[in-house]
Amino acid sequence: MSNNPLRWAVHLSVVLFVLLWTLPTLGLLVTSFRDKDQITTSGWWTALGTSTQSAMFRAPEGEGEVLEGTLYTLKGTVFEGQGGQIGTFGISSKAPDAFKAGEVADLGDGANLTVSADGSFVLSAPESFKDKRGQRIFYTASVPPRFTFDNYRSVLTAEGLGRSFLNSATVAIPSTVIPILIAAFAAYALSWMQFPGRALLIAAVVGLLVVPLQMSLIPLLTLYNSAGQQLGFDPKSYIGIWLAHTGFGLPLAIYLLRNYMSGLPREIMESARVDGATDFQIFTKIVLPLSFPALASFAIFQFLWTWNDLLVALVFLGPQDDKLVLTGRLVNLLGSRGGDWEILAASAFVSIAVPVFVFFALQKYLVRGLLAGSVK
């Protein structure tokens, strides 16, 4: 019974951390379906309720006016196809709430403006509105929640998005498979083969885990460009980024796989050697199938990293349009200011669709692979 308070504290802490990670994602998801105007005026947690929105509408310049007696009349609505409830309106940005809905605003020279609660307005004047600048109407309205697929439609129909999707797959898949193939052989050698300098190699692998990518990126690019000039291949090809991601991913891959392989029962290896199996046969027929949880674990990490990467892709592939990855295309879609929050939210979920599928497909192996070797 004495452990019950501690157990409750642990459970509450876990729930708290889950909420801290889930709430921003939920907010991003809700924002991706909201109307652009409502995103800028209210938070995502108010998406299901009525929001207050202030905006400006400019009446058309005489289009649709009719002559009623001695007055020219222009009618329309400030909502432009979107509903709401007008609370106040005005004719100047300094006093946007000067009049209540339904009141008559005197524009001078015999002109009047009336804005009803449903958003319809009536503009009347003794002179025609043609060849005159449209009257500005400032208003504050209570707008019901609006959800739309236009944000996703804008992202998914963007020019070049399909090509960028294929580019990201071309980068991510080989950059995940190649490190696994190399690291699996290295991890087996460091786990079950005796040779001089083995301990130093293990220490080097552990040390490379803490080397920042940004520190080695430029020297690596310089070395690669020099090799490209000497060997005569295009330095902006996919080979360069495959090698870069392989180099950056190998330390973690070797570390995870070695921890797992070193925890496999020694009796299995000894029995195989007694039966005449070579190291290669032991590796391919025994160790590799048993190490699938660790392989899947690293594949998740590596694929998530390479799919969402932008820095390495820009350095090794450049900003050329035919090789621009998905993250680069979505950044260009946002523009230079990056203020289109609805596009940003939709782009985020479009870009994570494939990584989420990969994660849930392999997540049952994740914990098994990460905890491998921690308990003997």
pLDDT at 172: 93
Q: What is the mean pLDDT of residues 34-58?
A: 82
Within 232-363, where are the H helices?
A: 238-261, 266-274, 279-282, 288-290, 292-308, 311-317, 326-334, 341-351, 353-362
Using the predicted structure, report yes or no on whether residue 95 has a pLDDT greater than 70: yes
Q: Which band of pLDDT confidence, cut at 50, 70 and 90, is reported for residue 183?
A: very high
pLDDT at 367: 61
pLDDT at 131: 74
C-beta neighbour count of 356 within 10 angstroms = 11
pLDDT at 288: 87
pLDDT at 226: 81
Determine which helix (DSSP H) or strand (DSSP E) holds 105, and give its type and residue range: strand 104-108
Cα 134 to chain centroid distance, Å, stands at: 41
Within the chain, where are the H helices?
A: 4-32, 36-41, 150-156, 161-192, 198-208, 213-231, 238-261, 266-274, 279-282, 288-290, 292-308, 311-317, 326-334, 341-351, 353-362, 366-370
pLDDT tens digit sequence for 104-116 = 998 888 889 999 9
Q: What is the mean pLDDT of residues 23-49?
A: 83
Q: What is the mean pLDDT of residues 50-61?
A: 82
Share of the chain above pLDDT 90, in %: 12
Regarding predicted confidence, which is higher, 90 or 49? Answer: 90
pLDDT tens digit sequence for 185-220 = 999 999 888 888 888 988 888 888 888 877 788 888
pLDDT tens digit sequence for 328-363 = 888 887 765 456 777 888 888 888 888 888 888 877
**Closest of 288, 29, 62 to residue 181, by C-alpha:** 288
Using the predicted structure, report yes or no on whether residue 374 has a pLDDT greater than 70: no
Regarding predicted confidence, which is higher, 232 or 144? Answer: 144
pLDDT at 369: 55
Q: What is the pTM of this model?
A: 0.71
Using the predicted structure, report yes or no on whether residue 2 has a pLDDT greater than 60: no
Q: What is the mean pLDDT of residues 31-60?
A: 82
Q: Which two tokens stand for residue 259?
A: 């921890």
Using the predicted structure, report yes or no on whether residue 373 has a pLDDT greater than 60: no
C-beta neighbour count of 233 within 10 angstroms = 12
pLDDT tens digit sequence for 299-313 = 888 998 999 888 888
pLDDT at 1: 45
Domain over 154-370 is classified CATH 1.10.3720.10: yes
Average pLDDT of the residues of the chain: 83
In whole angstroms, give the CA distance from residue 251 to residue 259: 12
340: exposed, middle or buried (C-beta count within 10 Å: 0-12, 13-18, 19+)? middle
Q: Where are the domains of the chain?
A: 51-145, 154-370
In degrees rounded to 5, what are phi and psi of residue 170?
A: -65, -30
